Structures are given as structure tokens and as C-alpha cells.
């Protein structure tokens, strides 16, 4: 994991479908050298994969919210995960320090849909309390190009 690897990664974060030759031009390597590095980065796990960045609004998901969830009693993260994957509106979930057990990011078509998704969250988990904020605008997202 040297400086060249980081440059390769930076370039691929900017354009996940860049050709090896394009990356090579940017970092000063041949295409085959870039390919070998990319293969190694994938192998080592530093590069987890490639993905398309989709505008949620184009799919009709126009309402976004962050929800802090506090559960009744102790909850195993694995169990939490198992239940949350069942709710498609939950697109991101982490366990956190502090009063809350988990922080969720939800995408829904509208606030009515969001409310139904939240009900489902409360049903699936043994929720003691939730605290939600609705996203007004996205200012910054370094992991996604074109924002």
C-alpha cells in the first residue's frame, strides 16, 4: 500500500470505470502495471469493489432521514443486522456510542412512506425510543462522484 496505490485508488474513486491505461497515464504507470496493482488491492481487501452511483430521486426515493434507535435491553449487532436487512428502506446502519444503540439512514418515497418504514423498524426491533431528523439537502458526499 504505497503512494502509487493511493493515487490509483483516488483515480478509481473519481471514475470507477476508468480504463487501466487512463489510470496509468494519471499515475505514471503502464496499463498492465495498474491492473496488477488493482488486482492486488482487491485481493487484499483495500479495494472492496466497484459500484454505480444512482440518484435516489430518479428512482422515486425523495425523502431521506437519519434515525437514532435505542433498544430495550441488550442487542447483539449480528441480530440487529439480521432484522434491519429485511427493511429495504434502511440503506445504512451502524452501531454507535452514547445513549442510542444504532444510527440508521432511511430512504423513502415521501414522508408517508418514511413513517411506515419507521413503524416497521419499531416492530422489527424492540425499540425503546427513536429520534429522527429528515434530510433537507445534501451538502457533501466524498464517497460519491458528481455531488
The mark string for 81-120 relative to a copy of itself (x by CB under 8 A, - otherwise) is x--xx----xxxxxxxxx-x-xx-----------------
* 41, 8 contact by CB (below 8 A): yes
Helix axes 3-14, 31-44, angle to 10 degrees: 90
Could you tell me which residues are beta bridge partners of residue 125? none
Q: In the complex, what is the shortest distance from the CB of residue 59 to DNA, in angstroms, rounded to a whole number?
A: 18
Q: Which of 7, 22, 66, 70 binds DNA (CB under 7 A)?
A: 22
Question: Binders of DNA: how many residues, by CB under 7 A?
Answer: 15
Question: For the chain, what is the radius of gyration of the CA atoms?
Answer: 20
32 binds, among DNA, a copy of itself, none (CB under 5 to 8 A by kind): DNA
Query: Is position 35 an interface residue for DNA (rule: CB under 7 A)?
Result: yes
Crossing angle between the packed helical segments 20-27 and 3-14, to the nearest 10 degrees: 130
CA–CA distance, 87 with 96 (Å, rounded to integer): 20
Residues lying near a copy of itself in the complex (CB under 8 A): 1, 6, 9, 12-17, 44-55, 58-59, 64, 66, 68, 77, 80-81, 84-85, 90-98, 100, 102-103, 133-147
Amino acid at each position: 500500500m504505497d503512494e502509487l496505490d493511493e493515487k490509483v485508488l483516488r483515480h478509481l474513486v473519481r471514475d470507477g470505470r476508468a480504463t487501466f491505461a487512463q489510470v496509468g497515464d494519471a499515475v505514471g504507470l503502464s496499463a498492465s502495471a495498474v491492473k496488477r496493482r488493482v488486482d492486488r488491492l482487491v485481493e487484499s481487501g483495500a479495494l472492496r469493489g466497484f459500484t454505480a452511483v444512482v440518484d435516489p430521486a430518479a428512482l422515486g426515493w425523495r425523502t431521506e432521514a437519519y434515525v437514532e434507535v435505542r433498544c430495550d435491553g441488550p442487542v447483539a449487532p449480528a441480530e440487529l443486522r439480521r432484522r434491519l436487512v429485511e427493511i429495504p428502506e434502511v440503506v445504512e446502519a451502524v452501531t454507535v456510542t452514547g445513549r442510542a444503540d444504532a444510527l440508521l439512514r432511511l430512504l423513502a418515497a415521501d414522508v408517508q412512506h418514511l413513517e411506515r418504514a419507521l413503524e416497521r423498524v419499531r416492530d422489527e426491533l424492540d425499540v425503546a425510543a427513536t429520534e429522527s431528523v429528515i434530510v433537507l439537502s445534501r451538502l457533501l458526499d466524498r464517497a460519491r462522484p458528481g455531488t
